[in-house]
């Protein structure tokens, strides 16, 4: 009997969408099992509503001069060591099989289908920063720090 139970668990894990198996949701955060990072589920400006199981409120688009303040407030209000994600970290959230927004909406609800900031500058053009566009799933390095984009914050445990 246990043999069949273990087989059922194995097949359910094996057949589970890899994007879903990558994350464990914990209230307002999501743990990425592949990278060891913890993400805030909501974009800056939104708040996790546990009764509705989603992010509510308006996304606030920030330029780089405002991001430090948002990070300071996240640390003060939530604890933890929040920061902008690297290009690779944010790109790892892209779900190629998802309709826009190209991110797992079960774990990251109400993400806007547009470009989001990373903390990485383009090495070939250090005046611009990398972004990940959740409308297309593509990355771009054409945004200047004075432009306004949405933000997702990440922490490494």
Q: What is the pLDDT of residues 35-75, one digit of tens each?
A: 999 999 999 999 999 999 999 999 999 999 999 999 999 99
Q: Please check whether residue 4 lies inside any domain of the structure.
A: no
Range 17-23 average pLDDT = 66
Full-model pTM:
0.86
Q: For residue 138, what is the domain's CATH number?
A: 3.10.100
Q: Please check whether residue 88 lies inside any domain of the structure.
A: yes
Give the C-alpha distances (Å, rounded to integers) separating 85 from 15, 23, 140. 29, 16, 15
Q: Please check whether residue 15 lies inside any domain of the structure.
A: no
What pLDDT shows up at residue 21? 79
Q: Please check whether residue 5 lies inside any domain of the structure.
A: no
In terms of residue numbers, what domain contains 68? 23-156
Q: Please check whether residue 12 lies inside any domain of the structure.
A: no
Q: Please check whether residue 36 lies inside any domain of the structure.
A: yes
End-to-end CA distance of the chain, in Å?
39
Q: What is the pLDDT of residues 127-153, one digit of tens each?
A: 999 999 999 999 999 999 999 999 999
Residue 20's pLDDT band, with cuts at 50, 70 and 90, is: low
Residues found in the chain = 157
Q: Please check whether residue 17 lies inside any domain of the structure.
A: no
Tokens of 41: 């589920």
Quick one: CA torsion of 65, 67, 70, 74, rounded to 10 degrees? -140
* Chain centre to alpha carbon of residue 39: 6
| Total number of domains constituting the chain | 1
Q: Please check whether residue 2 lies inside any domain of the structure.
A: no
What pLDDT shows up at residue 14? 38
């Amino acid at each position: 009997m246990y043999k069949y139970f273990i087989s059922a668990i194995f097949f359910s894990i094996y057949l589970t969408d890899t994007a879903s198996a990558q994350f464990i949701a914990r209230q307002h955060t999501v743990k990425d099992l592949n990278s060891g990072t913890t993400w805030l589920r909501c974009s800056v400006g939104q708040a996790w509503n546990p009764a509705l199981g989603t992010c509510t409120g308006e996304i606030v688009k920030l330029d780089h001069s405002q991001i430090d303040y948002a990070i300071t407030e996240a640390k003060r209000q939530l604890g933890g060591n929040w920061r902008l994600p690297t290009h690779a970290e944010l790109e790892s959230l892209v779900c190629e099989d998802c309709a826009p927004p190209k991110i797992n909406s079960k774990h990251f609800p109400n993400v806007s289908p547009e470009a989001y900031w990373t903390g990485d500058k383009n090495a070939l053009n250090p005046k611009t920063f990398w972004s990940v566009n959740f409308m297309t799933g593509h990355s771009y390095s054409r945004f200047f720090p004075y432009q306004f984009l949405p933000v997702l914050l990440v922490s490494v445990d």
